[in-house]
């Protein structure tokens, strides 16, 4: 699914009207009629009292179109205009006038103006006495906090306990960020036009949106394409198409040999989870390179992956003296993963920086691997191979010099700008993990759930992404497939457990997730 920003959608509307020649009133009619179909699918309308709560802009105009059709269907409709009639202009006014012209033929319908607090108090009891609210107050143009009677009406709608249908976007949601502008309508379903907006998808806007349906209103394809949409919400078919089918004659060498550099004292589990996840995700061969004294601990934890002992620092981390052996190991490898539980010893930092400078093998860098290069990011500008970084918000804060709160408040732009600046594929983990590509495109992962909020999940993800990379998927595809399949695995576990499942459970569940994805 393509996602657009408010600016992109406004430009599409403008170009469709001015350059292509479809009148705005036609687009509004298409929007209202399409939204009515969604309304009819989601809610029982027979015998229902519907309140169309309209602002004075185009969102209100869409509401008038919906209400007009409802009147013609014999539904009892009341219109509540949060303004006075004389302030409604353009296409919205034209559709308001059509509604007013039908009033005489529909005695059960009424039109009430609510321009101020006094009129709201007078109409509140009438407004509350409806079974279904059509929210047509603001639309996608809102970028400041909701105040005055608008806030009061939204709170009344939310407190009513009645069904709510939002037109374009729940009023009070910032269409670009998903943020609540002080207060926002809590909708059961929303019909939006032409394309979904980022505010429908990002938290908390997604929770306010309810079920989302996208209505085709007649925006020509070439006009939409000219805006170069660069935000995507992938579906299962998008992801399954990234993973090549396996030939009947395939063997383990057909699916790549992955080298993982991971582990330090106290963090052996991270290395094991990563390696085991890579095997479960279909890498043909996995070799786990670890500090030599960890061999007795890790070998029983990884049955299928091979292990190799590497030189270690006095405190047990990977030492710079291991570099020559690592270079030898890389000679026949299809991909490299660095970081899970690897620690940040000075020697470890040196070996990681050296590998980045000389390796031509596509790589995934996670966890302590990121922390080891956080203060020397210029090294990313010199790498010879594609790089995927997989930070959580705290690690992203260290990479950018910002606070974790800063990252969380502006996840999309932070990820996009970093990926473009350093020409890497960036996986910004968390609820709705983002995959940002060097060309500025971003995918928002729709899979995953709060049950996955426990230790080790990131190590599993690194193994999955690296396994896809070893199977010769391009970095962007490997990252997207890994993130989506990882979240799907968590969703399948949550069907039976809600939460309380572990990263080891995720590893065991990867084959079922892949089967579900590819079936």
Is the separation of the CB atoms in 3 and 229 below 8 Å?
yes
d(CA 272, CA 263): 8
Q: Residue 417 CB: number of other CB atoms within 10 A?
A: 15
d(CA 425, CA 391): 11
Q: What is the dihedral of CA 38, 40, 45, 49, to 10 degrees?
A: 30
Tokens representing residue 490 in the block: 């968590």
Q: What letter would DSSP give residue 318?
A: B
> 51 pairs with which residues across the strands?
78, 133
CA distances from 185 to 152, 189, 253, 256, 431 (A): 11, 11, 55, 50, 22
Buried b (16+ CB within 10 A) or exposed e, 190-217: bbbbbbbbbbbbbeebbebbbebbbbeb
d(CA 64, CA 177): 27
d(CA 125, CA 58): 27
**Rounded (to 5) percent helix, strand, coil in the chain:** 50, 15, 35
For residue 469, which of 235, 236, 258 has the smallest C-alpha distance?
A: 258
Q: How confident is the model over 10-42, as pLDDT tens digits?
A: 999 999 999 999 999 999 999 999 999 999 999
Tell me the three state secondary structure of residue 100.
helix
Residue 425, H or E segment? strand 425-428
pLDDT one digit per residue (tens) for the chain, 519 residues = 999 999 999 999 999 999 999 999 999 999 999 999 999 999 999 999 999 999 999 999 999 999 999 999 999 999 999 999 999 999 999 999 999 999 999 988 999 999 999 999 999 999 999 999 999 999 998 989 999 999 999 999 999 999 999 999 999 999 999 999 999 999 999 999 999 999 999 999 999 999 999 999 999 999 999 999 999 999 999 999 999 999 999 999 999 999 999 999 999 999 999 999 999 999 999 999 999 999 999 999 999 999 999 999 999 999 999 999 999 999 999 999 999 999 999 999 999 999 999 999 999 999 999 999 999 999 999 999 999 999 999 999 999 999 999 999 899 999 999 999 999 999 999 999 999 999 999 999 999 999 999 999 999 999 999 999 999 999 999 999 999 999 999 999 999 998 999 999 999 999 999 999 999
CATH numbers and ranges of domains, the chain: 2-229 (3.40.50.10260), 251-518 (3.40.1190.20)
The counts of H helices and E strands in the chain are: 21, 19
d(CA 234, CA 487): 12
List the 110-113 sheet strands across, edge first. 110-113, 76-81, 49-54, 132-136, 163-167, 189-193, 211-215
Q: What letter would DSSP give residue 56?
A: S
Cis check for the bond before 175: say yes or no (omega within 30 of 0).
no
Q: What are phi and psi of 71, to 5 degrees?
A: -60, -45
Tokens representing residue 121 in the block: 């108090």
For residue 190, which of 172, 179, 182, 177 has the smallest C-alpha distance?
A: 172
d(CA 272, CA 159): 50
Sort 314 into a burial class: Cβ within 10 Å, 0-12 / 13-18 / 19+: exposed
Percentage, residues of the chain above pLDDT 90:
98
Tokens representing residue 312 in the block: 């270690």
Rg over alpha carbons for the chain, rounded to the nearest Å, is 27
Q: What letter would DSSP give residue 20?
A: I
Is the separation of the CB atoms in 195 and 3 below 8 Å?
yes
d(CA 183, CA 294): 54
Contacts 24+ apart (CB under 8 A), 40-45: 42/165, 42/188, 42/189, 42/211, 43/132, 43/163, 43/165, 43/188, 43/189, 45/70, 45/73, 45/75, 45/132
Instruction: Classify residue 338 as left (phi > 0), alpha (psi -120 to 50) or beta.
Output: beta
């Amino acid at each position: 699914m393509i996602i657009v920003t408010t600016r992109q959608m406004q430009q599409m509307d403008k170009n469709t009207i001015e350059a292509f020649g479809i009148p705005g009133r036609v687009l509004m009619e298409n929007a209202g009629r399409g939204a009515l179909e969604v309304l009819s699918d989601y809610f029982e309308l027979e015998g229902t009292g519907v309140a169309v709560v309209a602002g004075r802009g185009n969102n209100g105009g869409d509401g008038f179109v919906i209400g007009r059709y409802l009147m013609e269907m014999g539904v009892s409709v009341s219109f509540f205009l949060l303004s006075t009639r004389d302030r409604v202009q353009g296409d919205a006014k034209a559709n308001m006038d059509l509604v007013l012209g039908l009033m005489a033929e529909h005695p059960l319908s009424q039109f009430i103006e609510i321009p101020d607090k006094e009129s709201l108090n007078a109409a509140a009891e009438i407004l509350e006495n409806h079974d279904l609210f059509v929210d047509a107050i603001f639309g996608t143009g809102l970028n400041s906090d909701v105040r005055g009677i608008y806030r009061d009406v939204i709170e009344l709608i939310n407190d009513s306990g009645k069904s709510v249908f939002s037109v374009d976007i729940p009023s009070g949601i910032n269409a670009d960020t998903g943020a609540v502008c002080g207060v926002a309508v809590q909708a059961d379903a929303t019909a939006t036009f032409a394309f979904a907006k980022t505010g429908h998808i990002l938290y908390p806007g997604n929770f306010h949106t309810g079920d989302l349906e996208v209505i085709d209103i007649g925006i020509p394809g070439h006009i939409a394409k000219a805006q170069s949409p660069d935000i995507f919400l992938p579906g299962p078919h998008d992801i399954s198409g990234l993973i090549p089918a396996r030939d009947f004659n395939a063997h383990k060498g057909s699916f790549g040999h992955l080298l993982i550099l991971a582990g330090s004292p106290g963090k052996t589990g991270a290395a094991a989870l990563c390696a085991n996840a890579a095997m479960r995700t279909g890498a043909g061969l996995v070799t786990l390179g670890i500090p030599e004294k960890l061999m007795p601990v890790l070998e029983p934890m990884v049955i299928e992956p091979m292990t190799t002992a590497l030189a270690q620092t006095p405190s047990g981390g990977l030492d710079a003296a291991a570099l020559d052996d690592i270079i030898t190991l890389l000679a026949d490898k299809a991909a490299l993963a660095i970081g899970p539980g690897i620690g940040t010893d000075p020697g470890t930092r040196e070996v990681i920086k050296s590998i980045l400078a000389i390796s031509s093998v596509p790589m995934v860098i996670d966890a302590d691997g990121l922390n080891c290069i956080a203060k020397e990011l210029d090294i990313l500008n010199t790498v010879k191979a594609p790089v995927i970084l997989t930070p959580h918000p705290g690690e992203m804060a260290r990479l950018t010099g910002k606070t974790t709160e800063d990252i969380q408040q502006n996840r999309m732009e932070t990820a996009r700008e970093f990926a473009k600046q350093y020409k890497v594929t960036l996986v910004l983990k968390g609820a709705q993990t983002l995959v940002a590509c060097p060309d500025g495109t971003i995918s928002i992962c729709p899979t995953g759930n709060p049950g996955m909020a426990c230790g080790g999940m990131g190590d599993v993800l690194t193994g999955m992404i690296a396994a896809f990379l070893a199977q010769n998927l391009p970095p962007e595809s490997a990252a997207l497939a890994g993130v989506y399949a990882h979240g799907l695995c968590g969703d399948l576990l949550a069907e039976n457990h809600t939460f309380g499942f572990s990263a080891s459970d995720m590893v065991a569940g990867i084959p079922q997730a892949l089967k579900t994805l590819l079936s």
